[in-house]
Amino acid sequence: MNRLCGSSMQAILTASANISAGWGDCFLCGGIESMSRVKRRGFNWSPNPTLVKELPNAYINMGITAENVADLYRISREEQEEFALKSHLKATRANSEGNFSNELVTITSNGNEAYQDDCIRPDSTLESMSNLKPVFIEGGSVTAATSSPLTDGVVFSLICSEEFAMSHSLRPIAAIVSGAVTGCHPELMGLGPISSTNLALERAGWEVSDIDIFELNEAFSSQSIACIRELGLNPETVNIDGGALAIGHPLGASGARITCKAASILHRTGSQRAIASMCIGGGMGISIALEAL
């Protein structure tokens, strides 16, 4: 299925709905994306003529949406860089403490083993970030450091009913309580998690204050900061092992990654409730509410 950035999280929500409807009892959900092989727009770029005429914002650059959010919420470049640095520092600490060990699978290619994420930069500094030029508009505030980096990734998770887990001696770590997908203005697509999270909370019967762990996909610093502000989140509960600014955002895999990460942190810390949420290019947000078992 295709919901752009939210595809693998949508797969998890669809599996949950199918199980609730009695249309299955076990699903393997996830996604894969090789961003390093994504085709670039070149001089021969051929957009859909009807979309360009009727809905030109369908082709808006995601970096421009990040600039729009930064302008709307008056988020300075310095604040964006501080947020990005914290993401790298948290991911560095989590990696050194082994918090990714149960989430990474070693792969072998041409006799070489890859067992560690190369994207995290423990040597990141505010000084090095401040030397970067704006990427998307002249005089803008969004740089490569405050945008999620180009990465490849694959994530899969097993979603099943309680009965299936018991009959197959499986130990589930979290239950799916609710989920939601909402729309927002394409030019401000990074704000999608605000409405989708509020709807997921409403469906779960929870308040923001009930959430112990919040996994927010860091497509850009600006939209992450805006979502944290608008939702009234405690920053100490958000992306405690770092986020996409440090780990990367392989589009088809990210939704499953942050959902699994939220469940993993619940299990590791003994916390009770979590939300995983992300913005979606084109103007959407998707969220999932989890409860520890």
Q: In the block, which residue shows the tokens 């709307």?
A: 72
Q: In the block, which residue shows the tokens 């309680």?
A: 162
Q: What is the 3-state secondary structure (H, E, C) of 229-254?
A: HHHCCCHHHECCCCCHHHHCCCHHHH
DSSP 118: S
Report the pLDDT value the prediction gives residue 40, as an integer from 0 to 100: 66
Instruction: Pick the closest to residue 258 from 235, 238, 283 (CA basis).
Output: 238
**267 part of the active site:** no
Q: In the block, which residue shows the tokens 């595809």?
A: 7
Of the residues 160, 249, 260, 267, which is catalytic? 249
Give the C-alpha distances (Å, rounded to integers) separating 236 from 55, 108, 213, 253: 39, 36, 9, 25
**Which tens digit of pLDDT belongs to each residue from 206-216?**
999 999 999 99
Q: pTM of the entire structure?
A: 0.94
Burial of 172 per CB tally in 10 Å (0-12, 13-18, 19+): middle
Report the pLDDT value the prediction gives residue 216, as an integer from 0 to 100: 99
What type of residue sits at position 182?
A: T
**Beta partners for 293?**
none
Of the residues 5, 29, 119, 184, which is catalytic? 5
Separation of alpha carbons 13 and 234, rounded Å: 26
Report the pLDDT value the prediction gives residue 118, as an integer from 0 to 100: 82
Report the pLDDT value the prediction gives residue 56, as an integer from 0 to 100: 78
Report the pLDDT value the prediction gives residue 42, as an integer from 0 to 100: 58
**279 part of the active site:** yes
**5 part of the active site:** yes
Q: Is residue 179 helix, strand or coil?
A: strand
Give the C-alpha distances (Å, rounded to integers) separating 176 from 19, 23, 253: 11, 17, 18
Positions of the chain with pLDDT lower than 50, given as ranges: none
The full set of domains in the chain, from first to last, is 4-39+58-292 (3.40.47.10)
